[in-house]
Structure 1
């Protein structure tokens, strides 16, 4: 049996889902058919590619070797088909992936103004979005990398840094005592309930490090940040937030003293051409969004002034 792209795609699906059942559903085939196909592939290659257990399937050393070669081939084939279809139809669609950002609306608007037709796929996991770009399912992805928790960058991806370190702020109920000050110490929030989304890659680890450094151990609830925003407004929790978030009558966005949390903002694509086409509009949209937040604007002005003073020659 000669291996074909569909066989490699099946192996990637099994590895990605960790289950023959889920892989079969993703591929649109019956599980017995996929199991038979896997056995034939293993016979062709001369060894087991996956260890089957009640908890699922995981690659063997031989499986990891095969997958390391299969993934780029599958991604290239997807990219080839996508680009060929676009060229044949004159399609200007740009498949955009992103984690949450207030800059998204301005970015998509600017892309449309340039004659592109962006579609959007949102995901809280930057690693999942990067894998989708590598697999040819997305053209570009705008993601964040939590400080101290490096992303898993698939082989062959091109990256551009939008912001090397964006500080993360805190969102408080408007009547919280700490909201009376422009800068909040983490220790001031030791007795509050925090809500953190543990599904965001690296987020929970970074927040735990911040708590340990501050010597506090607050009560933590786990939930998505849309729910967190609603609970902040009713005085139930405090939560970390992006510095571009805006204060409202019932919430206050404040800087954390010492900027203990930070992320790096990245744009990823398979080609330099895709990066060059998407980055300028994203930079414009981000600057526009940053300017709208008074707290973040003040932080940026302070950082710029500090950096300028550091570069100035010493007086004799």
Structure 2
């Protein structure tokens, strides 16, 4: 049993995450943990406190009376700790100069974005935090751990946007392509229908917001039941695709890994909205405008340099990036 003195703020955050999401699985995704590790942590906390904090059922996890009592005390502690950290950081900022904390999904546009920011703000201490989950980035924004974040939202699966966080749309509808082994029969097609990939295993990242759910929904609409393989490591995923063991979704601006080919999906059954998120009033409008322009310019550059995406943009009349199609 954990001694009571070993109960830490991270444990209280875990309890609040379970209560807020209503699910140990969803809370684990928000916290960047595996479900088994969070379940183990919850059992240890309950053992420390001497009672059950949540009831588990078909409708998810709900606080018990003891759970409500603990949560009512935990939330003010977390709020105070967040305020303390924020105040300390602001004090450090005042003593040490300008600071910009950026969050982002993984994207080929990030390097160019940072390069432009460094060139425009050479005296600013700029940091970057990369996450698979856009929901996690939004939570980091809401708790003042980030200043801006580049996020995406899968069509049909809205993000949980915290109060006080706003988004400025960068790309309203970006298609998802598919990465295949170079020897896959479907690479002969310029547009690959989902039905041509019905017998393939599909790699999904279990920490990515609604990726598996969106893929299942697209296949269901096509009358196909996909086989999903959960892989969190990008290197392993790329090797599995190159070996022909599986296929996976790809951002259109991504370069194919060695031994793989990227192709558009026929009918664009999976799309995302890309946006720059920030806390309301946290940055002057001119600074936010400049960060947005930097990100858009970086995105346009990588899109224009990608022949598969360029072809898709030209074929579709460049609805996303008219400037690319006009070159």
Cα deviation for residue 119 of structure 1 reads 1.4
Cα deviation for residue 87 of structure 1 reads 2.6
Aligned positions of 1:226-265 closer than 5 A = 226=234, 227-247=236-256, 250-265=259-274
Change (3 A) 1:53 1:10: closer
Q: Give 2:89's match in structure 1, choosing from 82, 92, 97.
A: 82
Q: Give 1:154's match in structure 2, choosing from 151, 162, 173.
A: 162
SS of the equivalent of 1:100 reads: coil
Change (3 A) 1:70 1:304: farther
What residue in structure 2 maps to residue 99 of structure 1? 105
Change (3 A) 1:16 1:178: same
What residue in structure 1 maps to residue 31 of structure 2? none
Calculate the TM-score normalised by the size of structure 1: 0.75
In structure 1, distance between residues paired with 2:112 and 2:239: 24
Q: Calculate the aligned-residue CA RMSD, in Å.
A: 3.6
Instruction: Establish whether residue 295 from structure 1 lines up as the match of residue 308 from structure 2.
Output: yes
Q: How many residues align?
A: 279
Cα deviation for residue 240 of structure 1 reads 0.7
Q: Give 1:128's match in structure 2, choosing from 136, 157, 176.
A: 136
* Gapped regions of structure 2 (runs ≥ 5): 1-7, 25-36, 321-327
Change (3 A) 1:139 1:272: closer
In structure 2, distance between residues paired with 1:112 and 1:306: 30
Question: Which structure has the bigger radius of gyration?
Answer: 1
Change (3 A) 1:161 1:225: farther
In structure 2, distance between residues paired with 1:159 and 1:69: 28
Cα deviation for residue 228 of structure 1 reads 1.8
What residue in structure 2 maps to residue 41 of structure 1? none
Change (3 A) 1:158 1:127: same
Calculate the TM-score normalised by the size of structure 2: 0.73
Cα deviation for residue 276 of structure 1 reads 2.7
* Gapped regions of structure 1 (runs ≥ 5): 1-6, 26-30, 36-49, 308-316
